[in-house]
Amino acid sequence: MKTYKNIGICITACILSVSATHAELLPQETLGKLLYFDENLSEPNGQSCASCHTPDAGWADPDRNLPVSEGVIPGLYGDRNSPSASYASLFPDFNYSNGVATGGQFWDGRAINVADQATGPFLNPVEMANPDKETVIRDVLNSSYVELFEEVCGHTKDDIDAAYLCVAEAIGAYESSNELQKFNSKFDLVMEGKAQFTPIERQGFSLFNTKGKCSQCHTSGNGNGISNLNRNSDMIFTDFKYHNLGLPRNTVFPYTLMPEDTIDLGLGVTVGDASQNGKFKTPHLRNIALTPPYMHSGVLKTLKDVVHFYNTRDVPSAGWNPPEVRENMELSLLGNLGLTDQEEDAIVAFMLTLTDDYNATSINFSKIK
């Protein structure tokens, strides 16, 4: 099969910031990349997938001052924090059985996989705001890469549903490529014996797997430390499950299209089961330092805030607001862990080592805590 060199066409400036380390993409992946960065696929023009999932921001929203993302229409916002698109394809397909949900995409698991997820934003009125699939396909057929679209998708232009599905599958293929899952962080180099943790990073990794209980949900390897790690889904630090952490409601930025007293029930709505209310997907931790604010609502602004919340949620003097959803809360893995302030900082220091494109001579991680 013919392959394409990394494209030199600059649909947006962001496309040039993607590392050229992985020099070749398959035709479907190349089409997906062009679609991913194409700002002409919204209505009106001006927003692409990369607008809310930017390479330089860990493939999440580059605006760290907003907990949710603004769509192509000024003043309209999504109702949840934009998760990272990197490593997302390593989540298994969504499954719900015996009261346990695993895998899937979006915070609430409503999309089966990355291709299914890619069908949503084009037609979402607060994201890319296209009125229908036909509008998206019309713009693709008028693009500079229409020949590649026809090569990958065949003559589907007269079958809008088939063409739209092919577009989504191409985006999913690009999101599954090595450009979005590089495994070249400091952590990876340490595991390969090519770098060393600093003392505080080493302490943080130990705490992550012990007293901090982080690895109970953000699993590494077999869930007990770093044994038997391979470059696969074992290395992205998630159990692929859903939990209610007892997070307070984000009152700083009320959801634009909902009443201010709306309760986000998360997975419970997806599966139609009240016993799952308030549960959201355990995100992976790759590039986590680049993706603030945090949690499904963006209620926690920094990694320090995240660790402190896990450590002190149930400590009255900590001053946390009441949980948005009280039922189904996780009680055993967080709330009053007894971590010192210095131990919280150590866990943050470890998480900073999970940032891709590590270069010990040029990256100052202290600036992105």
- Domain-wise residue ranges, the chain: 4-180, 186-368
Measured distance CA(246)–CA(242) in Å, rounded: 12
Cα distance between residue 126 and residue 194, in whole Å: 45
Whole-number percent of the chain with pLDDT over 90: 78
| Mean pLDDT of the 272-300 span | 97
The answer to whether domain 4-180 and domain 186-368 are alike in fold is: yes
pLDDT band of 229, cuts 50, 70, 90: very low
Q: Tell me the per-residue pLDDT of 35-63, one tens digit each, with 9 for 90 and over.
A: 999 999 999 999 999 999 999 999 999 99
User: Rounded to the nearest 5°, which phi and psi values hold at 139?
Assistant: -65, -35
* Tens digit of each residue's pLDDT (9 = 90 or more) over 301-311: 999 999 999 99
DSSP H or E run through 116: helix 114-118
Q: Which amino acid is at 98?
A: N
pLDDT exceeds cutoff 50 at 112: yes
The pLDDT value given to residue 359? 84
**Domain 4-180 belongs to what topology?**
Cytochrome Bc1 Complex; Chain D, domain 2 (1.10.760)
Q: What is the pLDDT of residues 10-31, one digit of tens each?
A: 444 444 445 444 459 999 999 9
* Fold observed for domain 186-368: Cytochrome Bc1 Complex; Chain D, domain 2 (1.10.760)
Task: Provide the pLDDT for residue 255.
Answer: 54
- Across 277-287, average pLDDT: 97
pLDDT for residue 266 is more than 50: yes
Question: CA-to-CA distance for 41 and 166, rounded, in angstroms?
Answer: 15
Amino acid 226: pLDDT = 41
Residue 287: the pLDDT is 97
pLDDT at residue 254, as a whole number: 56
For residue 197, pLDDT beyond 60: yes
pTM: 0.89
Query: What is residue 89's DSSP assignment?
Result: G
Q: How confident is the model at residue 158 (pLDDT cuts 50, 70, 90)?
A: confident
> For 303-358, what is each residue's pLDDT tens digit?
999 999 999 999 999 999 999 999 999 999 999 999 999 999 999 999 999 999 99
- Residue 44 has a pLDDT of 97
Average pLDDT of span 104-122: 98
Residue 334's Cβ-count burial label (10 Å; 0-12, 13-18, 19+) is: buried
Q: What integer pLDDT is reported at residue 234 of this predicted model?
A: 55
- pLDDT for the residue numbered 297: 93
What's the whole-number mean pLDDT along residues 78-83?
Answer: 92
Mean pLDDT of 273-280: 98
Q: Residue 173 above 50 pLDDT?
A: yes
pLDDT above 90 (res 107): yes
Question: What pairing do the DSSP bridges indicate for beta strands 280-281 and 24-25?
Answer: unpaired
* Whether the predicted pLDDT of 153 surpasses 90: yes
User: What does pLDDT average to over the chain?
Assistant: 88
Average pLDDT over residues 95-116: 98
